[in-house]
Amino acid sequence: MEIQDIVTEFKRKGLTYRHVEETHVAMMYQVTYEDWFECYEVFKKKLTPLLVDFATRTYSDTEFKYKYPSDEDFGYWAWTYRTQEQARKKLLEITHTHNEKEQIKNTIR
């Protein structure tokens, strides 16, 4: 399985998104609008297959990329915060919860 590198900066709907930090299970992006608005988005890493042929909607079986959340994903596996400190707290919470679940799984096996 091959995973495409994350996009460190991109623009969408007039906003600029910059990768700030990540763990093995979550990412944080700074979101700005021009120079006067700033917030942070934190989300769980989710893989999606790469689109190989747009016309036939054919997806790769071996190449993947990390999915950026859509508007509907916020509140479920993505969250927005006003400060970087709040966002980092959520990033670490997601990571800690994931690690605890992995420890439990390994104990049960």
pLDDT of residue 75: 96
pLDDT of residue 109: 62
AA letter at 90: K
pLDDT band at 105 (very low <50, low <70, confident <90, very high): low
CA max distance for the chain: 51
pTM of structure: 0.84
Average pLDDT over residues 77-105: 91
- In terms of residue numbers, what domain contains 86? 2-108
Number of domains the chain is built from? 1
| Beta carbons within 10 angstroms of residue 71's beta carbon | 7
β 58-66/2-3 pair status: parallel
- What average pLDDT does the chain have? 91
- pLDDT digit string, tens, across residues 13-31: 899 999 999 999 999 999 9
